[in-house]
Structure 1
């Protein structure tokens, strides 16, 4: 493929990934890992490593947008991020000693599980009426105060997400967002930004570890990140204008598509 076309395609993909990242609270790895595997023909371990590197600037950009608009719970995000930062290198180590097919199957399994969990919650969520459409101030809930017990639980959530993140090359938001909705009863309008704060912290040690192993395709990561950084800021701006129930359906559908793509590719259908 022509280098210029590849660059333009990478920028466009990065922009799309960034918007979804800022809107849904994921680092973007759910798209990037299948994309790097299928579109760039990278090896599974290189796909996960390159995804982790790209996730960091994307998540930081989205987190900044959410913090400015007060659409996140910073204390919980930092607690989960620190928990994940401690365990993400463990996930990377597991990936380096696992066969390629195991990494892809694990990624598809955890993504599909998170998708189904969020889809069930979307069905149960009440439909938003006129109040939700009245304006941004009515659409965004107030930021709750976190107790020490909740913050400790947040560290545990982050630790689980950290292992999953390091192993399959995703930011961890695909695990944290459903858990935050379930365990802390926080609406997605606040979990998206909270998750991005955590992802920005927990992805860093895993990305450094992968870089030390020499698994990162730096040019691809840089090209996609140039588009994803402004995209994540834009996605954060969209949060007040998207109904809570719709966010949950978008999140679950988005994850399910990624899981199906990975399974089809591993089976040789793609």
Structure 2
């Protein structure tokens, strides 16, 4: 089982290196449905995997001049605040609810990939920097809640709102992801048990895959690869949502029950 986990970690890193984002969203489903971890430890452990792999990718992009450090810091600090808050908020939610939320995010990411990449034509439009702050906080909260990097949200936000060219938006988003993943993981420390030895091996395998994927990226048709991954993500998101289909119904029932009790007391 360990060998399977390391192989899948390598594939996650490979997809991240090939696509510049998106692969990390599969980390939690792999940890839960393949390796048998409970939802909360899986979400917590996914964050250093996502963060370290993204940091390595950001370093590679930085060497190519594709990282806007000031933009990443401005966006990333707000995302870090959201990620820490999201991790703490996760303690109030059942693991099944977190997985259901992850499934919804996976489906949204799939739609984003199937629609295609944003181009730099939007650079001629006026910037809307005021919208970046709530988006950064929102991405951070999602990171803490469901263990994703959020690159599929960060990249279009940087392109459309901050007018960062697409190539630099990808590199900059990787640094943002590394920052908010670290903050989200800090929010989980002390609240869940972490399998440190497994985590180290899984992360190393993901980083190795990312390095290979980055080297292969120029040789693989990106549009076709992104569409194929989008279809796969759509199927995976549907599966995770189906497996946790009772999560929101259960939450609604638990909220309705006290109200019903209160009404009967008044009667």
**TM-score bin (small chain):** 0.7 to 0.9
Q: What CA distance in whole angstroms lies between the structure 1 residues aligned with 2:22 and 2:193?
A: 19
Gap runs ≥5 in structure 1: 127-140
Partner of 2:150: 172
Cα deviations by residue, 1:134-182 (Å, 9 ceiling, x for unpaired)? xxxxxxx9xx9xx9x6666544432211000100011222332343454
CA distance change for structure 1 residues 26 and 32 in 2, over 3 Å: closer, same or farther?
Answer: same
The Cα of 1:106 is off from its aligned counterpart by: 0.8
Gap runs ≥5 in structure 2: 247-267
Contact map agreement 2:112 2:152 (CA 8 A) in 1? no
Q: How does 1:1-270 map to 2 (within 5 A)?
A: 1=1, 6=2, 8-26=3-21, 28-121=23-116, 153-184=131-162, 188-242=166-220, 245-246=223-224, 248-250=226-228, 252-267=230-245
Select the structure of larger CA radius of gyration: 2
Secondary structure of 2:74 counterpart: helix
Q: What CA distance in whole angstroms lies between the structure 1 residues aligned with 2:226 and 2:70?
A: 23
CA distance change for structure 1 residues 223 and 172 in 2, over 3 Å: closer, same or farther?
Answer: same
Partner of 1:135: none
CA distance change for structure 1 residues 158 and 252 in 2, over 3 Å: closer, same or farther?
Answer: farther
Higher relative CO (CA 8 A, sep ≥ 6), structure 1 or 2?
Answer: 1
Secondary structure of 2:93 counterpart: coil
TM-score by length of 2: 0.77
TM-score by length of 1: 0.76
Contact map agreement 1:188 1:248 (CA 8 A) in 2? no
CA distance change for structure 1 residues 217 and 257 in 2, over 3 Å: closer, same or farther?
Answer: farther
Contact map agreement 1:10 1:223 (CA 8 A) in 2? no
Cα deviations by residue, 1:2-42 (Å, 9 ceiling, x for unpaired)? xxxx1x32332222111222333337431110011101111
Contact map agreement 2:5 2:35 (CA 8 A) in 1? no
The Cα of 1:202 is off from its aligned counterpart by: 0.7
